[in-house]
Amino acid sequence: MTSHESASARPLTAAEIDAVRTDFPYLKRPARNGEPLAYLDWAATSQKPADVIEREASFYRMTNGAAGRSTYQIADEATRVWEDAREAVAGFVGARGSQLVFTKNATEAINLVALAVGHASAGRPAARGGAGADDADPARRLVIAPGDEIVVTRAEHHANLVPWQELAARTGASLRWLDLTEDGRIDPTTVRVITERTRLLALTHASNVTGAITPLVDILPAARAVGALVVLDTCQSAAHLPLDFAALHAAGVDAMVLSSHKMLGPTGIGALVAAEELLEAMPPVLTGGSMIEVVRMESSTYMSGPARFEAGSQPLAQAAGWRTAVDYLSGLGMDRLHAGELDLMQRVLDGLAALDGVRVLGPADTRERLGVVAFTVDGVHPHDVGQVLDASGVAVRTGHHCAQPIHAHFSVSSSARVSFGVTTTAGEVDRFLEAAAGVRAYFQR
């Protein structure tokens, strides 16, 4: 389903990383202390290579037309940019262009599914199916009613929790969840919450707090056995692991969401990747221009496929930039990038384990894990930890990371978090560890 076993992959060499770093303009600016910036907040948002920035700008300079709306030259070129980007981003995650809907971000992609299910459950007509269709029919699978259950996990980002809470409230369904092991991994023994009443399962592919990769092989069969619709949040994993939607779909995943700005791409664009039969069954959510077939004063009919869900003016320049970003990642090799992150993660885990009063939230090893490490420092608020690190030229995330339930699992309200990207070096990790070692002393003096 995914190729996250990177033990045999060769990490980028120091020379290759140095070459990559020349592609990123942000490294030319100093940190607050005047030293080079050690940016270690890639799980929140990635920095962009110059080619991505230039491609977005060049679209506005030379190809800024109305895609799909006319026949003049630059409009035709804009349309090609849009559809080429669709094919490229879809191909990057092992999908077809006909399976990818562009959205403004991954949060909107999740809400798109939740709202479509809500519309279908309220009795609005789906593209196919209806009374008498069996539960294997995509249209029937969209219907959630009182007595049904929606299952999530305690590890979810709020974007993959709150929409399902709202859907449960609107439909009268119950919300249940897979729980966590002591070290914050999703506990496969709690898969028993998936029952014949389960109509939808929404889960993260990798936690944005612990970095733990979800054991899909232990969970998906249970969802598949009861015909539950499965939505996978790959915002973290798509930036760090090679993904194959075809394999995921064969295993039971119906849809997954992507976030451009975590994948070296621009902000303002994300995607829903879903099986064609699901897209055809889902009723439209946003309506207006572009997504219609025929509009009369009394009623309208709608396009099929991705266009049904892409109402209004498209984020064309952002799509062009995202296409360049996935080309850049492909050139580096996702398996090689993950192998390098495992080395950096081990360095961080070992370094933090040697510091008194520092607690890592999550597994103590690199097994089935991404380069994301959240931690707390005894007696020091995470925001203060972040300020001390910032004073040393090290940028990390602080707060609850839009994931309060998993923090509650660890009996804390917030944490500091270090995460890696394509430019991260061992030297930057060492700078972080050196600064972290001085945090408690700074506040005890």
Cα 59 to Cα 62: distance, rounded to the nearest angstrom? 5
Chain position carrying tokens 């009443």: 197
Q: Which amino acid is at 331?
A: G
Classify the phi-psi angles of 181: left when phi > 0, otherwise alpha if psi is within -120 to 50, otherwise beta. Answer: beta
Distances (CA, A) of 329 to 25, 106, 235, 433: 17, 19, 15, 28
**Residue 394, strand partner residues:** 38
235 is catalytic: no
Catalytically annotated residue among 12, 27, 402, 412: 402
Cα 291 to Cα 311: distance, rounded to the nearest angstrom? 5
Active site residues: 402
